Amino acid sequence: MNPQPTNIPLLDFTTISDLVRAHARERPDHTALIEGGRRIDYSALDQLTDRVAAALQRHGVRPRETVAMCAATSIEYAALFLGALRAGAAVAPLPVSSGIRSLEAMIFDAGARILFFDGAAALAAEAWGAAAAAYPAVAIDDPGRSGLQRWLGNARSAPSRIDVKPDWPFNVIYSSGTTGVPKGIVQPHSFRWANMQRAASFGYGPASVTLLATPLYSNMTLATLFGAMALGGTVVLMNKFDARRYLALAQEFRATHTVLVPVQYQRLLEEEHFADCDLSSFRMKFSAGAPFAAALKERILKRWPGGLTEIYGMTEGGGACMLEAHKHRSKLHTVGTPMPRNDIRLIDAADREVAAGETGEIVGSSPAMMTCYLNQPAKSAEAEWRDASGKRFIRTGDIGRMDPDGFLELLDRKKDMIISGGFNVYPSDLEAVLLEHPDVDEAAVVGVASPRWGETPVACVVLKKGSGIVAAALTAWANERLGKTQRIDSVKFMSSLPRSEVGKVLKKALRDALT
């Protein structure tokens, strides 16, 4: 059974910068980007993209080389990204929250020829350092000599035409690095083209208005940004998420589309003015990047007009699943079915495919797959699995199972699975029970060392305001509802759970705090 749409046309490869140019010719005055009190139409964006590409060429950046960007979300950020692509270069978008050692490692690994940064990423300029002295560092928000306008030069600059090939690198996105040095995930133009081809099926077009409140270095944000612009829509950019401001922008610009991580949806539903906001313009809302509780999906469907679609996949690409939650209310505990032209398999510890209905590691293959981990051939090979025919799949590191209707149930990260007394315990099962308690706002379960069991589950819980429940009572309540091998050893109350900037709970940080 495959309830997802399959009539997505296969189109000839086109670059996003060429699509922006086409929109500039067809609808020059149509607004492309809005940020703060500023906006830019497609004609002006195309001209700025040309200036960026010409300046990069003037500074010796060649096709397939890399430029680095470390800055807050802005119109300039988007234009610089598009200009680099028009010059045939790849972009390494770096998280502004990274420490200096991590930034140094990523800049060096990417082999960046130029760095664009702003005041929100002051450490990036320091990380650029003496090793990159031969290449410029350009301050996006500096009006002086080292600033963007001076670097861009002639306002009428036109770049040399570059015929970009589908296998050329589009961007290098670095993993979060929570378990070690970040890995550079090389996504080719064909990867992003596969993303963009799906945009029409999601209702994007010239009349769409997409509100983005996640950072532009995030894979899911870039996929949404370029998908919206591929079809000539308008994108409203927020450089920092704030629930009240988000709702005001959604009303002001009559937003039709958005992508948010689950914790942002939760914050919006909890905003005291949510019920007073007119959100009737929304056609589709997306979520990706972190586990999405079924109860939260249900709350969104009840309170927020328009469809809700969850996308499950990896920055590395491979297989992706989609759950159109508004169409499949009985499947909210799943991440949906494989998207068109996506092949999802489950394998055991010996790399053998498991039988239908059995649990295994999720691997996937699709038109959207990373080329490799930059400069790490061994890790690139470790990330791959091939079937008997030699077909290439990407390992997810996630554990799941397919239900009888072909919907994928996501159980947990392979590395987060707890082995207690010889039994596999999936933290997501325990977290789902804890979240049923009326006093629990958030919950994350991790395994800690136990002399008796090897590992034992400990729950880190954020309580709702005003709750008076004690840890022992919550532990007993949960254990009454859990199986014998699943029982929680203890509950630790926290004011908040540590999260990455795209909303993932940092379980390593929780384990470290508990040991």
Please identify, among 383, 412, 441, the residue that sits at the C-terminal boundary of a domain.
412
pLDDT band at 181 (very low <50, low <70, confident <90, very high): low
pLDDT in tens, 248-284: 999 999 999 999 988 899 999 999 999 999 999 999 9
Q: At what angle do helices 75-86 and 42-58 cross, to 10 degrees?
A: 60
pLDDT in tens, 78-134: 999 999 999 999 999 998 888 888 888 899 999 999 999 998 888 888 888 755 666
Residue 179 in this model has a pLDDT that exceeds 50: no
- Do 90 and 234 lie in one domain? The reply is no
Q: In the prediction, which pLDDT does 243 show? A: 96
pLDDT band at 394 (very low <50, low <70, confident <90, very high): very high
Please identify, among 143, 160, 194, the residue that sits at the C-terminal boundary of a domain.
194
Q: In the prediction, which pLDDT does 11 show? A: 66
pLDDT in tens, 493-512: 999 999 887 778 888 889 88
Please check whether residue 446 is in contact with residue 458, taking contact to mean a CB–CB distance below 8 angstroms.
Answer: yes
Please check whether residue 507 is in contact with residue 446, taking contact to mean a CB–CB distance below 8 angstroms.
Answer: yes
- Do 153 and 212 lie in one domain? The reply is no
Instruction: Identify each DSSP E strand in 49-122 by its residue range.
Output: 66-70, 90-93, 112-117
pLDDT in tens, 161-170: 999 999 999 9
Residue 6 in this model has a pLDDT that exceeds 60: no
- Do 44 and 185 lie in one domain? The reply is yes
pLDDT in tens, 344-364: 999 998 999 999 899 999 999
- Do 138 and 221 lie in one domain? The reply is no
Whether residue 7 lies inside any domain: the answer is no
Instruction: Please tell me the distance from the alpha carbon of residue 96 to that of residue 429, in angstroms, as a whole number.
Output: 34
Torsion angle in degrees (nearest 10) through CA of 159, 164, 168, 171: 50
More confident of the two residues 186 and 483: 186
Please check whether residue 300 is in contact with residue 265, taking contact to mean a CB–CB distance below 8 angstroms.
Answer: yes
Query: Which CATH number does the domain housing residue 127 bear?
Result: 3.40.50.12780
Residue for token digits 């409140």? 213
- Do 21 and 166 lie in one domain? The reply is yes
Please identify, among 177, 194, 211, the residue that sits at the C-terminal boundary of a domain.
194
Express as a percent the part of the chain with pLDDT over 70. 96
- Of 140, 149, 101, which Cα lies nearest the Cα of 121? 140
Encoded tokens for 379: 């890790």
CB neighbours of 59 closer than 8 A, spacing ≥ 6? Answer: 113, 114, 135, 136
pTM of the model: 0.84
Instruction: Please tell me the distance from the alpha carbon of residue 306 to that of residue 285, in angstroms, as a whole number.
Output: 7
Whether residue 3 lies inside any domain: the answer is no
- Do 222 and 340 lie in one domain? The reply is no
pLDDT band at 8 (very low <50, low <70, confident <90, very high): very low
- Do 172 and 78 lie in one domain? The reply is yes
Q: In the prediction, which pLDDT does 5 show? A: 36
CB neighbours of 22 closer than 8 A, spacing ≥ 6? Answer: none
| Half-sphere CA count of 202, side-chain side, radius 13 A | 32
Instruction: Please tell me the distance from the alpha carbon of residue 168 to that of residue 371, in angstroms, as a whole number.
Output: 9
Number of domains the chain contains = 4
Q: Residue 191 CB: number of other CB atoms within 10 A?
A: 27
- Do 235 and 97 lie in one domain? The reply is no
Mean pLDDT of all residues belonging to the chain: 91
Encoded tokens for 313: 């996949």
Residue for token digits 């950019």? 237
- Do 41 and 152 lie in one domain? The reply is yes
- Determine the average pLDDT of the residues in 7-15: 67
Whether residue 151 lies inside any domain: the answer is yes
Instruction: Please tell me the distance from the alpha carbon of residue 507 to that of residue 460, in angstroms, as a whole number.
Output: 10
Instruction: Please tell me the distance from the alpha carbon of residue 412 to that of residue 457, in angstroms, as a whole number.
Output: 14
**SS3 (DSSP) at 400:** strand
Encoded tokens for 159: 């770049």
- Determine the average pLDDT of the residues in 190-218: 93
Q: What is the per-residue burial (b if ≥16 Cβ within 10 Å, else e) of 434-454?
A: bbebebbbbbbbbbeeeeebe
- Determine the average pLDDT of the residues in 178-198: 83
Residue 223 in this model has a pLDDT that exceeds 60: yes
- Do 421 and 444 lie in one domain? The reply is yes
Residue 330 in this model has a pLDDT that exceeds 80: yes
Query: Which CATH number does the domain housing residue 427 bear?
Result: 3.30.300.30
Residue 1 in this model has a pLDDT that exceeds 50: no
- Of 90, 75, 148, which Cα lies nearest the Cα of 117? 148
Give the DSSP letter of residue 147.
Answer: B
Q: In the prediction, which pLDDT does 170 show? A: 97
- Determine the average pLDDT of the residues in 210-214: 96
Q: Which amino acid is at 468?
A: G
- Determine the average pLDDT of the residues in 456-467: 94
Whether residue 9 lies inside any domain: the answer is no
Q: Which residues form the domain of 277?
A: 198-312
Q: Which phi and psi (to 5°) does residue 502 adopt?
A: -105, 20
- Do 73 and 187 lie in one domain? The reply is yes
- Of 225, 196, 223, which Cα lies nearest the Cα of 210? 225
List, in sequence order, every residue forming a beta bridge with 115; answer none if it has no partner.
Answer: 68, 137
pLDDT in tens, 122-139: 888 888 875 566 678 999
Whether residue 10 lies inside any domain: the answer is no
**SS3 (DSSP) at 75:** helix
- Determine the average pLDDT of the residues in 239-244: 94
Whether residue 8 lies inside any domain: the answer is no
List, in sequence order, every residue forming a beta bridge with 209; answer none if it has no partner.
Answer: 234
Whether residue 253 lies inside any domain: the answer is yes
Whether residue 87 lies inside any domain: the answer is yes
- Do 302 and 424 lie in one domain? The reply is no
